Amino acid sequence: MVDVERLWAPWRMQYIANGPQNGPRDFISAYDAQSNDRENLVVLRTEFTIVILNRFPYNNGHLLVAPRRAVAELSELSESEILDSQRVLSRCIEILRQQMKPDGFNVGLNLGKAGGAGLPEHLHWHIVPRWVGDVNFMTVCSNARVIVQSLDELWLLLREALGPQI
């Protein structure tokens, strides 16, 4: 008999059972209006930008970077919002590079429902750290991902590394 190793990811059950729709529709604006950053996984706020750990990550370290003002299109952002968001994106990538040592990144923005945006009224970039071999037999054979670090542990690491809030 083969001894099977079990991989536990109990936080995924909330997403599987209920999907993301049980929270506020625009969770980015809702989390920005609240002060319970650890519970909401908010790791950074600047004057124009908010960074949140993805509660249902594709990979360990998956961040959402969004303007604090809810807009659906890039053309709706002010020059200050564009500049700040891009600086924050760059800073987050460097912090993830230092703290997690990924081999690369996927950075993307889905615009509109047809473009894959799960929250089309509040644009946000995804930063997904990638490691050689991170898409392996688990994803291919069983449609599962293994996330190796708890969201709370990652929140603490990034909050400390990103430094002071506004």
pLDDT tens, residue by residue, 118-152:
899 999 999 999 988 776 444 444 455 556 677 78
**Which range, of 41-45, 46-50, 77-81, 155-159, averages the lowest pLDDT?**
155-159
In a domain, 52, yes or no: yes
In a domain, 55, yes or no: yes
pLDDT at 165 over 80: no
Q: What is the pLDDT of residue 19?
A: 53
Q: Which of 62, 122, 124, 126 is catalytic?
A: 124
Average pLDDT of every residue of the chain = 83
In a domain, 44, yes or no: yes
Tell me whether residue 126 is one of the annotated catalytic residues.
no
Q: What is the pLDDT of residue 57?
A: 85
In a domain, 82, yes or no: yes
Q: What is the pLDDT of residue 137?
A: 43
**pLDDT, greater one: 8 or 70:** 70
Q: What is the pLDDT of residue 157?
A: 82
In a domain, 60, yes or no: yes
pLDDT tens-digit map of 69-113:
999 999 999 999 999 999 999 999 999 999 999 999 999 999 988
**pLDDT, greater one: 130 or 22:** 130
pLDDT at 44 over 80: yes
In a domain, 51, yes or no: yes
In a domain, 95, yes or no: yes
Q: What is the pLDDT of residue 141?
A: 44
Number of domains in the chain: 1
In a domain, 40, yes or no: yes
Q: What is the 3-state secondary structure (H, E, C) of the chain?
A: CCCCCCCCCCCHHHHHHHCHHHCCCCHHHHHHHCCCHHHHCEEEECCCEEEEECCCCCCCCCEEEEECCCCCCHHHCCHHHHHHHHHHHHHHHHHHHHHHCCCEEEEEECCCHHHCCCCCCCCCEEEEEECCCCCCHHHHHHCCCCCCCCHHHHHHHHHHHHCCCC
The reported pTM is: 0.76
CATH (domain of 29): 3.30.428.10
Domain that includes residue 135, residue range:
15-162
